[in-house]
A and B are shown apart, each in its own frame.
Chain A
């Protein structure tokens, strides 16, 4: 079975602070995809990133960066210089052929950025 764990249920930071959201996963597949989604209060899921299991390069997109480490089965997400608009629930997810290609989600981390 595959599993995604987001140990941090809630994080509160002050604007301009950096914050890292942790994600640890389990899967039997050697080929899989990892994802991060943002869910603002409106509810719609906003796609942030997809990472192939064979690509361990870290990625940076503006204030967002992701650290993928297969050795520790982790795919952490860092927001640099956080802003109030970053306040949302963030989900890490895993998709693998063995599990039927559906997305398995972590429990989510609620990020609150205070002005």
Chain B
């Protein structure tokens, strides 16, 4: 079946550094991918919609200059957390699918910023 992968699954970094998270669709093409963030004991909140070949659409309150999204191909979207700070520590998870009715979550990436 369709699978979405994320890399890395877990990352620890120092405050001020940048971290790149990859989301790949393994057996389908995705013109749109969604990035979600989940803080401990909270629900999943949409951060941005990643569109292949065009700029990402960010949700209100999400800094586009801090969370850089690149959807360079139909199977890969990347989320870069620039100048990460402890408050960016969270669970980042992507969602993608061959159609809007059928979408799959990646396994998620846990980010811890020290």
**A103-B101 contact in complex given A44-B108, A108-B43, C-beta closer than 8 Å:** no
Q: How many residues of A contact B (CB 8 A)?
A: 20
CB-CB contacts below 8 Å: B73-114 with A = 91, 93, 95, 100-101, 103-105, 107-108, 110
Give the complex CA separation of A45 and B38 in angstroms: 12
A106 contacts B43, C-beta separation under 8 Å:
yes
A100 sits at the interface (CB 8 A) = yes
- Chain B interface helix/strand/loop/mixed: strand
**A102-B43 contact in complex given A43-B91, A95-B100, A97-B100, C-beta closer than 8 Å:** no
A66 sits at the interface (CB 8 A) = no
Contacts of A103 in B (CB 8 A): 34, 36, 44, 46, 95, 103
A102 contacts B108, C-beta separation under 8 Å:
no
Contacts of A8 in B (CB 8 A): none
A91 sits at the interface (CB 8 A) = yes
Seen from chain A, the residues whose Cβ lies within 8 Å of a Cβ on chain B are 33, 37, 43-45, 47, 50, 52, 91, 95, 97, 100-108
A/B interface sample: 28 pairs, CB < 8 A: A33-B101, A43-B108, A44-B105, A44-B108, A45-B44, A45-B93, A45-B105, A47-B105, A52-B101, A91-B43, A95-B100, A95-B101, A95-B103, A100-B49, A100-B57, A101-B100, A102-B34, A102-B46, A102-B49, A103-B36, A103-B95, A103-B103, A104-B46, A105-B43, A105-B45, A106-B43, A108-B42, A108-B43
